[in-house]
Amino acid sequence: MHLDHVFVCGDPALDFAATLRARRSARFEMFVTPDRLDAWYRESGVVDTIVPGGGSDVEQATAVREAIYQLVTDRRLGEEFDGKALDALNAAARKPPATPQLTPSGRRTEATPEQGLSTVARYAVELLSGPEVPLMKECGNPECTRVYVDRSRGMRRQWCGMDSCGNRIKAAAYRARRRAAPAAAAR
């Protein structure tokens, strides 16, 4: 199975918020169909299987995703929480979450889209009220708007992930240095 979603943020709620990419420029939407939303729930590990969702599930998920992003931004910038975003997140978190079950072959979590969304909302509540708030950073790539939890030693991480942004930034800096070197040598 090909995984289309990227999980580099260090928390399911932040990975969920990152499904609208490049918010400041191109705005690339990952949840274009109910299938893409269902795939995210499975690929993230939030659930093992999910009842196929519909258009209204995508609408609800994108509304909660935007609420999470707003609240994360508010918290990161030290601002008061946006009231509408808080209401949207808490409404989703109040719904029954996905419940893991023990089976003869191990742990298995089956869910409806509403239960998957409630589970993600609960992750957001835990993150935004917990000890990792000071570790949240926005990616250093100006094109990327992912927020991640920086658990690196000394909190020196600069981008959401090496594969997604770090290598791109480092390669661009290297090319810029190479272009500047001949000019400096000619002086």
The domain ranges of the chain are 12-186
Residue 182 or 32, more confident: 32
User: Does the reported pTM lie above 0.85?
Assistant: yes
- Residue 173: predicted pLDDT: 62
Span 1-23, pLDDT tens digits: 445 678 999 999 999 999 998 88
The token pair that represents 87 in the structure block: 């209401």
Q: Is the pLDDT of residue 177 over 80?
A: no
- Residue 134: predicted pLDDT: 95
Span 121-172, pLDDT tens digits: 999 999 999 999 999 999 988 888 999 999 999 988 888 887 768 666 666 6
- Residue 105: predicted pLDDT: 94
Computed over every residue of the chain, the mean pLDDT equals 90
Span 69-128, pLDDT tens digits: 999 999 999 999 999 999 999 999 999 999 999 999 999 999 999 999 999 999 999 999
Q: H/E/C letters for each residue in the chain?
A: CCCCCCCCCCCHHHHHHCCEECCCCCCEECCCCHHHHHHHHHHHCCCCEECCCCHHHHHHHHHHHHHHHHHHHHHHCCCCCCHHHHHHHHHHHHCCCCEEEEECCEEEEEECHHHHHHHHHHHHHHHHCCCCHHHEEECCCCCCCCEEECCCHHHCCCCCCHHHHHHHHHHHHHHHHHHHHHHHHHC
> Which fold, 12-186?
Jann2411-like fold (1.10.3300)
- Residue 79: predicted pLDDT: 96
- Residue 182: predicted pLDDT: 65
- How far apart, in whole angstroms, are the C-alpha atoms of residue 154 and residue 40? 31
Out of 3-7, 59-63, 172-176, least confident range: 172-176
- Using a pLDDT cut of 90, give the percent of the chain over it: 71
